[in-house]
Structure 1
């Protein structure tokens, strides 16, 4: 773990409504088990929120945003990497408070307007307590129809001219990751993560290592593998993922490449692997 990440590891548990700065224009705030990302320099009026964490964290996200950007400085928009409960939990609350649009990939549309539900969590994937209790996690599609808009098909992102989105399905059909070419910064959502999310011990200690997407909520492993390979080929210099602490530099690139090259053995549960 490098010094930068050590600082984050030591500091994330400070006052609970303070965003942790990763770059001058990128910060994150952890809502119990999942991160929300803030793209924009401190005190800027031009910023965007990525994901909204779990439910009942809306007030704390508001507080963290106010501390970073100032009072009455709403983001221009909310971008959703996907529609799972732990990424959209505070979406309605924040949309109402800020009166701003939400954007989602067209492949995720039915899941965020209440038309379709996600598959129930799969407790058979093993790995720890969070897998075991995953069938009890909410999987009903949330209804954000009043607030949500489709992202354009060309990979561009509203209000984020330096960033593009990459369609990274597998974990969900319309999952996206965000990438900035100039410094190879990646916001990966759950396409891959930097903690073993199946294990409650790893989650609460934030033991850091590149892992595949949360196995209990990933129905399409073939697509998930393609998505990880796509992201590894970008050779990101820094990655901020949906679960776990930021990673950067050679250790990130080495571990992400290893995951991409050995995805079947490292990420896919044994009983889910198709024969060669």
Structure 2
């Protein structure tokens, strides 16, 4: 029996000519937390480089970028190294772009929130990206972004209900919906490290100029794909209350210390004016 049976890669041939000045660059945020920028989105490698087979990949970047991610992993953890698991913050195209290719290569399990499973098992497409939303050129381009589900079949499993994360000792997952129904963020209480996914980001993602230059500003989730702004607001409050000391977000550069605290508190206070667009398909009037 083919162990890859049931896999369906809807991201094939969906590569997009979008980039930023940090594309292809990685940075060690902490000794066991490495952030790599894949075009316009971040993937996170969690684990110490000296433990070549004890690491986890969080999110899988843009479509058709598996080779790039494998190269980064092998450079950090050694030749032929593979993660113990892939954890998905959610299933949007820029976070699952290479997931099927990586599962086929590495044969590792994938974990996600129960509410994301329909989008990861071929059952349900996400709502269409909103090209009419208030924002810049990326928002206008968003209708060309794929919204159909990948199908990981039996290779994807639901995260444990107790909040623990397989193969990530000391970390827990937190349900942070709004941008996607089953969106999660990952938190380590010991040093208050946060992997936020797209619950909040550190770049104004709907502006092509700011995406390209990676101008840093703590902002709400990408506007063109966020469908529930009330939930998104509550998720940001929930993460700010954890008082994280360092955060790696799905888009933009990692942020820490006072810059993170001040920016996150400001986002909570000004969420409606700063994050929620003035108009758009998913905005309540």
For normalisation by structure 1, the TM-score amounts to 0.92
The aligned runs of 1:78-89 (5 Å cut-off) are 78-89=86-97
1:90-121 deviations in whole A, cap 9, x for unaligned?
00111111110000100111111011110111
Q: Indicate the structure whose relative CO is greater, using CA pairs within 8 Å and at least 6 residues apart.
A: 2
User: In 2, distance between residues paired with 1:274 and 1:54?
Assistant: 30
User: In 1, distance between residues paired with 2:190 and 2:176?
Assistant: 20
Structure 2 partner of 1:190: 198
Give the alignment partner of residue 40 of structure 1, picking from 41, 47, 50: 47
The aligned runs of 1:112-131 (5 Å cut-off) are 112-131=120-139
Q: Which ranges in structure 1 are unaligned for 5 or more consecutive residues?
A: 1-10
Secondary structure (helix, strand or coil) at the match of 1:37 reads: strand
Given that 2:113 and 2:184 are in contact with CA atoms closer than 8 Å, whether structure 1 keeps it comes out as yes
Q: Which ranges in structure 2 are unaligned for 5 or more consecutive residues?
A: 1-20
Deviation of the 1:141 alpha carbon: 1.1
Structure 2 residue 31 is matched with structure 1 residue 24: yes
Structure 2 partner of 1:8: none
Secondary structure (helix, strand or coil) at the match of 2:132 reads: helix
Deviation of the 1:126 alpha carbon: 2.2
Give the alignment partner of residue 160 of structure 1, picking from 144, 168, 172: 168
Deviation of the 1:12 alpha carbon: 4.5
Given that 1:55 and 1:88 are in contact with CA atoms closer than 8 Å, whether structure 2 keeps it comes out as yes
More helix as a share of residues? 1
- Structure 1 runs, 4 residues or longer, greater than 6 Å off: none
Give the alignment partner of residue 96 of structure 1, picking from 64, 88, 104: 104
User: In 2, distance between residues paired with 1:274 and 1:147?
Assistant: 37
Given that 2:134 and 2:278 are in contact with CA atoms closer than 8 Å, whether structure 1 keeps it comes out as no
User: In 2, distance between residues paired with 1:271 and 1:12?
Assistant: 30
The aligned runs of 1:1-276 (5 Å cut-off) are 12=22, 16=24, 19-44=26-51, 45-271=53-279, 274=284
Given that 1:239 and 1:247 are in contact with CA atoms closer than 8 Å, whether structure 2 keeps it comes out as yes
Deviation of the 1:144 alpha carbon: 1.1
Secondary structure (helix, strand or coil) at the match of 1:124 reads: coil
User: In 2, distance between residues paired with 1:205 and 1:267?
Assistant: 20
User: In 2, distance between residues paired with 1:260 and 1:105?
Assistant: 24
Secondary structure (helix, strand or coil) at the match of 2:111 reads: strand
Answer with 86-95 or 145-154: which moved more.
145-154
User: In 2, distance between residues paired with 1:158 and 1:123?
Assistant: 37
1:50-76 deviations in whole A, cap 9, x for unaligned?
000011110010000000000122110
User: In 2, distance between residues paired with 1:12 and 1:263?
Assistant: 27
Given that 1:19 and 1:68 are in contact with CA atoms closer than 8 Å, whether structure 2 keeps it comes out as no
Deviation of the 1:83 alpha carbon: 0.2
